């Protein structure tokens, strides 16, 4: 029986860092309790019972003890270690980038089943090497939506007129695009990135899906040119919105 001083849940290991000489401070993303920092005592010791369990990206079942300031890990059982991801630097870089996005965009102790399921599905797709690039795009768009910062792609952000079907410049500062008539309204903007017509058409499709609140299975084919364009846009927008340069981006660029 679990007491009110402990709780049991499943989670994904997002990151960890040194916490004293022998402990690790682990960030768990759990189904039931959201993102939770926990202390894994003596996890840095050679024979620690936590040494394998708290490896990055592991899916685990954990028993956690409540603490006055920080909770502590009691038990940690590996459900899935995603060994294919960890044995491939390209896949690993994408997995670590995904986990860092959750660290930056999701608040502590705020349950979010949609993001948990999206991250788990993305890791499963990386593990099975199924539609990797499209899976990464879809995960990032879901995270942006849940975080409440999904941009406007249908109409001009200034005058609300429908945007023409063509290439446009997107500005992160305003979360959208100025039409040709309003192109000089925000002359001081500098976080601009050109989005190609095909990419913008896809983003509009996703925006309509999100607004409809209907279940959506992402199976739309995206050619390499569109994927590259979307990745460029997402990199700039997510970095701006996170208000920091994410550490995993350097690794991502190095191995891809």
1 three-state secondary structure? coil
What DSSP line would sit under 194-217, residue for residue?
EE-HHHHHHHHHHHHHHHHT----
Looking at residue 181, the DSSP 8-state letter turns out to be: G
Provide the β-strand partners of residue 38.
26, 71
**69-89 CB burial, b ≥16 within 10 A, e <16:** eebebbebeeeebbeebbebe
8 A C-beta contact, residue 240 and residue 85: no
Question: All domains of the chain, ordered by start, with CATH?
Answer: 6-81 (2.40.50.140), 84-150+197-255 (1.20.1440)
Max CA pair span of the chain:
67
Distance CA 94, CA 99 (A): 9
Distance CA 149, CA 169 (A): 18
Q: Quick check: helix, strand or coil at residue 61?
A: strand
Look at residues 83, 81, 63, 82 and name the one whose alpha carbon lies nearest to residue 73: 63
Contact call for residues 168 and 195 (beta carbons, < 8 A): yes
Strand partners, 22: none
3-state secondary structure of 10: strand
From first to last of its 256 residues, the chain has per-residue pLDDT tens of 445 799 999 999 999 999 999 999 999 999 899 999 999 999 999 899 999 999 999 999 999 999 989 999 999 999 999 999 999 999 999 999 999 999 999 999 999 999 999 999 999 999 999 899 999 999 999 999 999 999 999 999 999 999 999 999 999 999 999 999 998 887 788 889 999 999 999 999 999 988 887 777 777 789 999 999 999 999 999 999 998 889 999 999 999 8
What is the pTM (predicted TM-score) of this model?
Answer: 0.93
Q: What angle do CA 38, 39, 43 make, to 5 degrees?
A: 130
CA quadruple 62, 65, 67, 73: dihedral, nearest 10: -40
34-40/71-80 β-pairing: parallel
**Which pLDDT score, from 0 to 100, does residue 1 have?**
42
Q: How many CA atoms, within 13 angstroms, populate the side-chain half-sphere of residue 71?
A: 23
Q: Which helix (H) or strand (E) holds 192?
A: strand 192-195
Q: What pLDDT sits at residue 3?
A: 56
Edge-first strand listing for the sheet containing 192-195: 176-177, 168-171, 192-195
How far are the Cα atoms of 170, 194, 241 from residue 166, in angstroms, in the given order?
Answer: 12, 11, 25
**How high is the pLDDT of residue 71?**
96
* Tokens of residue 116, six digits: 């948990």
């Amino acid at each position: 029986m679990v007491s009110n001083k402990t709780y049991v849940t499943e989670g994904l290991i997002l990151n960890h860092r040194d916490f004293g000489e022998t402990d690790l401070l682990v960030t768990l993303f759990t189904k039931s309790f959201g993102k939770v920092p926990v202390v894994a005592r003596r996890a840095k010791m050679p024979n620690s019972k936590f040494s394998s369990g708290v490896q990055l990206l592991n899916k685990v079942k954990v028993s956690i003890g409540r603490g006055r300031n920080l909770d502590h890990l009691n038990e940690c059982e590996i459900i899935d270690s995603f060994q294919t991801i960890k044995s491939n630097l390209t896949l690993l870089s994408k997995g670590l980038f995904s986990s860092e996005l959750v660290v930056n965009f999701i608040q502590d102790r705020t349950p979010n089943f949609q993001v948990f399921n999206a991250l788990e599905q993305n890791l499963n797709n990386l593990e099975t090497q199924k539609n990797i690039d499209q899976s990464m795009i879809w995960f990032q768009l879901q995270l942006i939506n849940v975080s409440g910062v999904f941009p406007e792609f249908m109409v001009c952000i200034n005058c609300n007129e429908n945007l023409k079907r063509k290439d446009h410049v997107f500005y992160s500062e305003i979360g959208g695009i100025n039409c040709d008539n309003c192109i000089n309204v925000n002359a001081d903007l500098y976080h601009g990135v050109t989005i190609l017509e095909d990419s913008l058409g896809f983003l509009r499709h996703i925006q309509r899906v999100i607004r409809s609140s209907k279940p959506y299975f992402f199976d739309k084919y995206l050619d390499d040119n569109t994927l590259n364009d979307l990745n460029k846009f997402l990199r700039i927008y997510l970095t701006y919105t996170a208000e920091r340069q994410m550490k995993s981006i350097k690794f991502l660029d190095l191995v891809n």
